[in-house]
Amino acid sequence: MTTPARTRFAPSPTGYLHIGGARTAIFAWLHARHTNGQFILRIEDTDRKRYMPDALDKIIEGLRWLGLDWDEGPDVGGPHAPYTQSERLPMYQEAADWLIEHGHAYRCYCTPDELAEMREKQQANKEKIGYDRRCRWLTPEERAAKEAEGRSWVVRLAVPLEGSVTIDDLIRGPVTFNNAELQDAVLLKADGYPTYHLAVVVDDHDMEITHVIRGEEWISSAPLHVHLYHAFGWNLPVFAHTPSILKPSGKGKISKRALLTPDGSTIPVMLHEFPELGYLPEALFNFLSGIGWSLDDHTEIYDRETAIKHFDLKDINPGPARFPAEKLEWMNGVYIRMLSIDELVERLIPYLSRDLGIPEEALARDERLRIIAPAIQERLKKLTDAAPLIDFLFADEIDIGDPKLLIPRKTTPEQTANILAEIIAALAQVDVWDEATLEETLRGLAAKMGLKAGQVFSPIRQAVTGKKVAPPLFATLVAVGREKTLQRLRNALNRLEQSLQNH
């Protein structure tokens, strides 16, 4: 039996959640659920200079939208509260004091000017840039003198100067670092806030995290964290550093700007932008989980339950994975087509309300939307595609544009006017306004007049929708309704006749 894991996702609200971070959250969530363990949300908000108040709300909303739930966190509580680092400052101070007392850390009194001067000299002498540990060797008397001056201080880790440290990474195997290459990193800043290094170790230990799953950009910090675990005498968690995501071209890591796809379109990179643009959460979950991990060598579409059943951290490819932009809209379309009509209508309503300026309550009561939904479902790649397809349904009048647009190929304006008149007469006699009857009537009319079906259908589509490309014609006519259809056809015929008279 697999031991239940405790994983966590710990975003920093210094900005909005990037899709790379969202994928890491998915992996951590999947591992916890696969092992029947717990998934914890922790907020790392100790970078007060870059803190963005609205970012936290968007991060939590985005994770919830993506379908992730957590067993412990700032909004649900838990036995290891608080789950927001700015509320845990006394714990970090206590940990830093303990490290100093036991010789694993020290106070550094260097001023910003002194540190800048040190770096300038290192550059001039072509030496390695970094803190030279000058405060590590201060005598008790020298420390007392510095403090008597009223100097502020930070706490630095006293990294072992010899030997090496090996990270046994679950995804990429053993990774070894020479201690001589490591810096005496700052653990506690002068304002009393911890740096990432101290806070993450204290919190992961306190919250009993068994698996630290994070992006590979943190692997260079891992040896410092191992040294801290050893200093405290704590058991190490399992480390798993996920691979980077590359641009769609495969050249370079994705940045914080929108991605340019091979076809020239753009895709956002911040999680909160995806729902705004009409992506489905289950599609994005499937898509992101498949970047660097796969269910097998052929399955593209799978639900959360299937992913949970088969997920294994060891199956994540350690190499960087390309962002397959060409797959995202296709996958989103697949998920849209999997929705029932009731689900599709429910999901479309917020977007139609926003884009067409119609209250959601009115759309929910409007039977026309339910009628047209099956006709457009196959055509949608994103939920935002619906509004420009069906806006004609909710218009009081249709602007057909240039009357010439009513004229089918190989048909004169006069012939088109006659066709429209015959269409109006035929449709006015229809008893049952449904797709089958309308199709039978209009195809019969085309045969009677010796015309191709397109010569009859084309002017109807332009007159009723104002578009050359619209949803399937007969479903459109049913949704528009008898009275509006006939009214729009008459208006189009009048426009065409006026144009003929003017010429």
Label residue 376 exposed, middle or buried (CB < 10 Å: 0-12, 13-18, 19+).
buried
Among candidate residues 23, 55, 11, the one with its CA nearest the CA of residue 253: 23
DSSP letters for 149-216: TT---EEEE---SSSEEEEEETTTEEEEEEGGG----EEE-TTSPBPHHHHHHHHHHHTT-SEEEEEG
Name the catalytic one among 121, 253, 256, 309.
256
256 catalytically annotated: yes
Looking up tokens 């914890």, which residue turns up? 40
Q: Report how far residue 494's alpha carbon sits from residue 503's, in angstroms, rounded to the nearest whole number.
A: 14
Contact 188, 154 (CB under 8 A): yes
Q: Report how far residue 460's alpha carbon sits from residue 480's, in angstroms, rounded to the nearest whole number.
A: 12
Among candidate residues 82, 94, 107, 112, the one with its CA nearest the CA of residue 198: 94
Fill in the DSSP letter of residue 380: -
If one counts every other C-beta atom within 10 angstroms of the C-beta of residue 480, the result is 23
Q: Report how far residue 70's alpha carbon sits from residue 78's, in angstroms, rounded to the nearest whole number.
A: 10
DSSP letters for 9-71: E---TTSPPBHHHHHHHHHHHHHHHHTT-EEEE-B-----SS--HHHHHHHHHHHHHTT---S
Q: Report how far residue 458's alpha carbon sits from residue 463's, in angstroms, rounded to the nearest whole number.
A: 9
Contact 41, 63 (CB under 8 A): yes
263 backbone dihedrals φ, ψ, rounded to 5°: -90, 5
Q: Enter the tokens of residue 60.
A: 């939590």
If one counts every other C-beta atom within 10 angstroms of the C-beta of residue 429, the result is 7
Q: Report how far residue 42's alpha carbon sits from residue 200's, in angstroms, rounded to the nearest whole number.
A: 10
Q: Which residues pair with 407 in a beta bridge?
A: none
- Catalytically active residues, by annotation: 256
